[in-house]
Structures are given as C-alpha cells and as structure tokens.
C-alpha cells in the first residue's frame, strides 16, 4: 500500500489489519483516498445518477427499504428518506465504544465506500475523512447490532455526526456533534440518495472490534511463547 509520512492512502482493496490498528491507536495518522479510488467512486456515482435520470427504480436510491423495496419514493423526498433512515436506526444502548474501536470502525467504513461499489458521492467520503482526520469521534453505544444483518444501530450512531447530530468525543470531551463541527470549521453534510443506507448497512463495527482483539491476542500469544521459552 502506498504511504507517505504519517498519511495512509486507502483504495478499498489493500487495507491491512495492521493499517487498521495504526489508525485506531494513533490519531496523528491522516487518511486519504488514492487517485484511482477517487476516480472509481466518482464513476460509480455518476453511473447510478444516470440510471436515476432515466427513471429506473434502483433499490436504496428511489425506493423504500426492506419490505418496501417495491415502493417508489418521489424525487423531492429522496434526501429526507436518507436522513430518516440514519435517525431511525440510532437506537443503540450501553457504554460507548472506545476511541480506538471507533476510529477503526470509521476507517473501515470509509475504506468500504472507497472501493467504488456503494454508489455514494465523493463528497460523502470527504466528509467522513474530515471527521476522522480532525479527531471527531462519534459516541457509539456498544449494544444494538443485529449481527449478520448488519451493525445498523451502531453505524447509525457513527453517522449522525456527519449531519450535525448526536454526540462526539472531541479534544478529550463529549460534546454535541454540531459544536465539534463548528470548532473544526466543518459543516454538517447533507446526505443524498442512497447515502443514508450506505452509511448504516455494513459490519464495520464488529470487524473493527474483531480486528483489534485478534491483533492483541496474537501479540499476547507471541509474548507467552517467548516467556515460556525463556523460562
């Protein structure tokens, strides 16, 4: 993977477990897209938008979700639909994830979108990168995932700060996301067609936790072997 000093370039394909851990534990590392990934994201979004202009029904863009997949949504309600799916799924409970777990999940979500298969806009990914790179970490309750069907609730909490809602860890404090965005000179992002669904439909929370636990376990196993050998 191409890297510059203190910068991790991602493309949706070559991210390693070690990369995830580095970003999770080191907030000084900045993340950016490769040029190729940026082109793929833009091309994907343009393709889907062209299909929408042709009045084709595309799931998640101009239809309802789940059982309502055959219900067409009027053009003037598409953005509202995407905001509401994020808000309606932000119903997690329990203690918040740690900041390293949150950072890992944020990176994995961005990496997934950067592959160019989600149909999201490049502006959304830039907004996600801005949160991560400015140390604005969403407060994500650790309970609420529905497993194989997706980390819908925790990912919704992770996405709320993008639109200026919810709470975040910022500069050592838990504050309203809107205040954190203002302090970082950022504006709330306006989600567009498909993007609300793309933000919450995934397994990046469990993948983030699993990655960090695996790497810790691997390290402990190596230390145990060394200690045993020395003894």
Q: What is the pLDDT of residues 88-129, one digit of tens each?
A: 999 999 999 999 999 999 999 999 999 999 999 999 999 999
In this prediction, residue 5 carries a pLDDT of 59
Cross-strand pairs, 170: 173
189 tagged catalytic: no
* Proportion of the chain above pLDDT 70, given as a percent: 97
Alpha helix stretches (DSSP H) within the chain: 17-25, 35-53, 78-89, 99-113, 122-133, 152-159, 177-183, 195-200, 204-230
Separation CA 139–CA 45 (nearest Å) = 29
Average pLDDT, the chain: 93
Structure tokens at 71: 């219900």
Strand partners, 143: 93
Sign of CA dihedral 205, 136, 191, 10: negative
Q: How confident is the model at residue 19 (pLDDT cuts 50, 70, 90)?
A: very high
| Contact (CB, 8 A) for 167 and 174 | yes
Q: DSSP code of 151? A: -
> For 188, which DSSP code?
-
Residue 3: its pLDDT value, please?
Answer: 46
DSSP-assigned beta bridge partners for residue 168 = 138, 175
d(CA 231, CA 220) in angstroms, rounded, equals 16
pTM of the model: 0.92
Would you say residue 147 has pLDDT above 80?
no
* pLDDT band at 1; cut points 50, 70, 90: very low
pLDDT bucket at 2, cuts 50 / 70 / 90 = very low
Give the full edge-to-edge strand order of the sheet including 7-10.
3-4, 7-10, 30-33
Q: Which residue among 25, 59, 189, 214 is the active-site one?
A: 59
Contact 119, 56 (CB under 8 A): no
- Which residues contact residue 183 at a Cβ distance below 8 angstroms, ignoring those fewer than 6 apart? 170, 171
């Amino acid at each position: 993977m191409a890297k510059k000093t203190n910068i991790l370039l991602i493309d949706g394909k070559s991210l390693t477990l070690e990369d995830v851990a580095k970003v999770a534990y080191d907030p000084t590392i900045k993340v950016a897209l490769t040029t190729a990934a940026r082109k793929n994201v833009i091309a994907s979004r343009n393709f889907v938008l062209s299909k929408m202009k042709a009045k084709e029904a595309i799931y998640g863009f101009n239809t309802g979700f789940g059982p309502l997949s055959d219900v067409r949504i009027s053009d003037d309600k598409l953005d509202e639909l995407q905001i509401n799916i994020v808000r309606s799924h932000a119903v997690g409970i329990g203690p918040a994830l740690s900041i390293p777990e949150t950072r890992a999940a944020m990176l994995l979500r961005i990496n997934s979108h950067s592959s160019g298969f989600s149909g999201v806009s490049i502006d959304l990914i830039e907004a996600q990168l801005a949160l991560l790179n400015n140390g604005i970490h969403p407060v994500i309750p650790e309970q609420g995932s529905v497993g194989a069907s997706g980390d819908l609730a925790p990912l919704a909490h992770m996405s709320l700060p993008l639109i200026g809602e919810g709470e975040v860890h910022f500069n050592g404090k838990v504050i309203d996301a809107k205040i954190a965005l203002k302090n970082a000179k950022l504006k709330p992002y306006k989600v567009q067609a498909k993007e609300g669904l793309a933000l919450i439909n995934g397994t990046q929370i469990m993948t983030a936790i699993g990655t960090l636990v695996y790497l810790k376990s691997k390290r402990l196993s190596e230390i145990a072997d060394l200690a045993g050998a020395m003894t």
